[in-house]
Amino acid sequence: MRYAESVLDTIGNTPLVKLSRVTEGIAATVLAKVEFFNPGGSVKDRIAAAMIDAAEKSGELKPGGTIVEPTSGNTGVGLALVAQQRGYRCIFVCPDKVAEDKRATLRAYGAEVVVTPTAVPADSPDSYYGVSDRIVAETPGAYKPNQFFNQNGPGAHYASTGPEIWRDTEGAVTHFVAGIGTGGTISGTSRFLKEASDGNVRVIGADPVGSVYSGGTGRPYLVEGVGEDMWPGAYNPGLVDEVIAVDDAESFAMTRRLAREEGLLVGGSSGMAVAAALRAGKDLPADAVVVVLLPDSGRGYLQKVYSDAWMRSLGFAGPDGDTTVREVLA
């Protein structure tokens, strides 16, 4: 019989899928690493298991303990999966811009969700960082994985995402493109790919216009899970060769194209990453192999990027592909 001992054993080994329609006019091969194949539906399952394993080993998390984390949803799902298997309580804190569908998903796994305002500074007591710190202080046996600074995040990508890409491209990968949220995905994967290729893989970050990684001030944008208004310790800018800024309009337009033209129903940060990959790949030769990581599924965004009414209400492209855009968050 061939079966997984637990759902946790199905994390990772996600497929590379060639993009063939949105890449029109590009000579290079562009391969999407599709992370919605993970059991929790996102790339974040990888780091959840790694962070909890490490906390159990170090004694920071004890039997019957409570996991508290500020998360935009995906890390919460991963942590909830692991917690459920091992008997921990979970409390997640997320900003109000996070889709209600995503919060409902966390609750479905048995987790508790606290919602905080998006438009407050990171150092405010009302920010999602501030509120999660308060809950940790007030909850006995609480452990905060702190994905923004936990080195087991990039460590998980060094141990799995990087090796999978190297193995599946048989070492032919020349470029790696990923969005930057905590920076764990790009930093850990980059470290592995640069070591394996003797520094020959070029690593490109994708970032929402307004975020600090591409020189912004942290002003709001609508794409979820990527960009920052501070510099997290999980991000190592020394491992990233270039950062490309993509605005919400282009990210969302590409997200919808991925569903309609490639059959990949993915979230907005995937559209952002592909938009950056296409910009990076525009003038590359035919033997270049660009791997772009698509972090999550579009199922959590049906009332947002996939809703024509929502898109129009914000001045974004309609269903006819009209790309007229006004500045919504100036």
Which of 40, 41, 225, 271 binds ligand PMP (CB under 6 A)? It is 225
- At 200, phi and psi to the nearest 5? -85, -15
Q: How many Å apart are CA 70 and CA 7, to the nearest integer?
A: 24
For position 29 contacting ligand PMP by CB under 6 A, the verdict is no
Which of 155, 179, 208, 281 binds ligand PMP (CB under 6 A)? It is 179
| Closer residue to ligand PMP, CB minimum distance, 278 or 288 | 278
**CA distances, 60 to each of 50, 55, 167 (Å):** 14, 5, 34
For position 78 contacting ligand PMP by CB under 6 A, the verdict is no
Q: How many Å apart are CA 107 and CA 232, to the nearest integer?
A: 27
Q: For residues 129-168, which are near ligand PMP according to CB under 6 A?
A: none
Identify which of 144, 149, 135 has the alpha carbon closest to the alpha carbon of residue 79: 144
| Closer residue to ligand PMP, CB minimum distance, 131 or 284 | 131
Smallest distance, ligand PMP to C-beta of residue 324, A: 26
Give the strand pairing for 175-179 and 29-34: unpaired
Question: Known catalytic residue: 44?
Answer: yes
Q: Please give the radius of gyration of the chain, using alpha carbons only, rounded to the nearest integer.
A: 19
For position 264 contacting ligand PMP by CB under 6 A, the verdict is no
| Closer residue to ligand PMP, CB minimum distance, 65 or 268 | 268
Catalytic one of 33, 44, 102, 144: 44
Identify which of 173, 162, 241 has the alpha carbon closest to the alpha carbon of residue 30: 173
Which of 185, 214, 251, 255 binds ligand PMP (CB under 6 A)? It is 185
For position 224 contacting ligand PMP by CB under 6 A, the verdict is yes
- Secondary structure of residue 69 in the 3-state scheme: strand
DSSP single-letter state for residue 296: B
For position 246 contacting ligand PMP by CB under 6 A, the verdict is no
Q: Which long-range contacts (CB under 8 A, 24 or more apart) does 89-94 make?
A: 89/65, 90/66, 91/66, 91/67, 91/135, 91/139, 92/68, 93/68, 93/69, 93/128, 93/131, 93/132, 93/135, 94/70, 94/128
Stretch that binds ligand PMP, among 48-56, 82-90, 220-228, 280-288 (CB under 6 A): 220-228
Cβ distance 206 to 272 under 8 Å?
yes
Which of 45, 248, 262, 296 binds ligand PMP (CB under 6 A)? It is 296
Which of 155, 162, 181, 271 binds ligand PMP (CB under 6 A)? It is 181
Q: For residues 30-59, which are near ligand PMP according to CB under 6 A?
A: 44
Please work out the total of residues on this chain that contact ligand PMP, with binding judged by CB under 6 A: 17
Stretch that binds ligand PMP, among 7-15, 178-186, 282-290, 304-312 (CB under 6 A): 178-186
Residue nearest to ligand PMP (CB): 225
Tokens for 29, please give them. Answer: 């091969």
User: Rounded to a whole number, what is the distance in angstroms from the first to the last CA of the chain?
Assistant: 58
Stretch that binds ligand PMP, among 122-130, 136-144, 175-183, 302-310 (CB under 6 A): 175-183
- Can you give the binding site for ligand PMP, defined by CB under 6 A? 44, 72, 74, 179-185, 224-226, 267, 269, 295-296
What are the catalytic residues?
44
